[in-house]
């Protein structure tokens, strides 16, 4: 099994750094090959909305930078893990920058999923999606928005499964580790059963 962790933390975010390490350890512990990508350290330009990944260089963004390796890792994984501070109920700008550049993983053509229009698959398989959102304090509205966002992304990324976990910055280390372990077990158990 392959897992990629996309860490959308800002500089100095020790909680996200710890979560990344604990996720990597837990995933390796269940036999995953893990790749960690700290997005702020990568050279990723923003998406210009040119649709070149659909109609000029199909499946590949015409802007050549580190986004290609992120997309490649995403597509080749069984599990994609998003680690991010929860920003107004959404992703950090660092994570968003990388995800915006991933439009090429689907086709431009439309299809219907549960009665709603979405883009067709480009590939046969896509990774399951686990999002770990870091919050400063409990905020139900933000957490519901974040959960909805991940669910919507799971549809558009054709993820076979998705899950959201929240970690508060003031959580004790053991609490955080329990959350991470629960998330990893929940996402990988079905995969290991199917293997």
Partner 1 sequence: MTRDRMVLLVGSAKAAGRSTSEALARYLAGRFEGGGASVTILPVNRSRRAAEDERLLAAIDTADLFMLVTPLYVDSLPYLVTRSLEITAARRERRPNQRFAALVNCGFPEAEQCRTALAILECFARHTGFIWAGGLALGGGPSIDGRPLERLGGMTRHVRAALDQAADALMRGEPIPTSAVAQLARPMMPASLYTAVANVGWRWQASRNRVHRRLKEQPYKSVVSSH
Summarize as ranges the residues that interact with partner 1 (CB under 8 A).
Answer: 1-2, 46-51, 54-60, 71-72, 75-78, 87-93, 96-97, 99-100, 102-103, 107-110, 116-118, 122-125, 127, 139, 141-142, 144-145, 148-149, 152-153, 156, 191, 194-195
In the complex, what is the shortest distance from the CB of residue 7 to partner 1, in angstroms, rounded to a whole number?
16
d(C-alpha 28, C-alpha 184), whole Å = 10
Q: Tell me which residue of 166, 168, 160 sits closest to 187, measured CA to CA.
A: 160
In the complex, what is the shortest distance from the CB of residue 91 to partner 1, in angstroms, rounded to a whole number?
7
d(C-alpha 126, C-alpha 83), whole Å = 18
Question: Of 125 and 182, which CB lies nearer to partner 1 in the complex structure?
Answer: 125
In the complex, what is the shortest distance from the CB of residue 94 to partner 1, in angstroms, rounded to a whole number?
8
Indicate the SS3 state at residue 129: strand
In the complex, what is the shortest distance from the CB of residue 185 to partner 1, in angstroms, rounded to a whole number?
17
In the complex, what is the shortest distance from the CB of residue 176 to partner 1, in angstroms, rounded to a whole number?
24
Joined together, the tokens standing for residue 64 give 């050549």
Question: Of 74 and 180, which CB lies nearer to partner 1 in the complex structure?
Answer: 74
Alpha-helical segments (H) within the chain: 14-29, 52-55, 67-76, 93-100, 140-156, 173-194
Question: Of 52 and 177, which CB lies nearer to partner 1 in the complex structure?
Answer: 52
Q: Tell me which residue of 158, 62, 161, 56 sits closest to 105, measured CA to CA.
A: 158
In the complex, what is the shortest distance from the CB of residue 115 to partner 1, in angstroms, rounded to a whole number?
9
Q: Tell me which residue of 87, 130, 95, 91 sits closest to 8, measured CA to CA.
A: 95
Which residues fall within 8 angstroms of residue 10, CB to CB, at 6 or more apart? 40, 85, 92, 94
Question: Of 173 and 195, which CB lies nearer to partner 1 in the complex structure?
Answer: 195
Question: Of 42 and 107, which CB lies nearer to partner 1 in the complex structure?
Answer: 107
Question: Of 111 and 178, which CB lies nearer to partner 1 in the complex structure?
Answer: 111
CB 165 within 8 A of CB 110: no
């Amino acid at each position: 099994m392959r897992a990629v962790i996309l860490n959308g933390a800002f500089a100095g975010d020790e909680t996200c750094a710890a979560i990344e390490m604990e996720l990597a350890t837990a995933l390796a512990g269940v036999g995953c090959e893990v790749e960690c990508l700290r997005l702020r350290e990568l050279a990723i330009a923003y998406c210009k909305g040119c649709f070149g990944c659909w109609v000029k260089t199909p499946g590949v963004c015409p802007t050549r930078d580190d986004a290609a390796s992120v997309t490649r890792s995403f597509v080749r994984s069984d599990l994609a893990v998003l680690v991010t501070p929860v920003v107004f109920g959404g992703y950090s700008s660092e994570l968003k920058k990388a995800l915006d550049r991933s439009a090429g993983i689907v086709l431009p053509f439309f299809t219907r999923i549960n009665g709603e229009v979405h883009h067709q698959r480009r590939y046969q398989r896509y990774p399951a999606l686990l999002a770990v959102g870091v919050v400063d304090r409990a905020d139900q509205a933000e957490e519901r928005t974040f959960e909805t966002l991940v669910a919507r992304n799971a549809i558009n990324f054709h993820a076979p499964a998705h899950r959201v976990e929240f970690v508060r910055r003031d959580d004790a280390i053991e609490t955080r580790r329990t959350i991470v372990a629960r998330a990893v077990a929940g996402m990988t158990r079905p995969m290991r059963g199917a293997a």
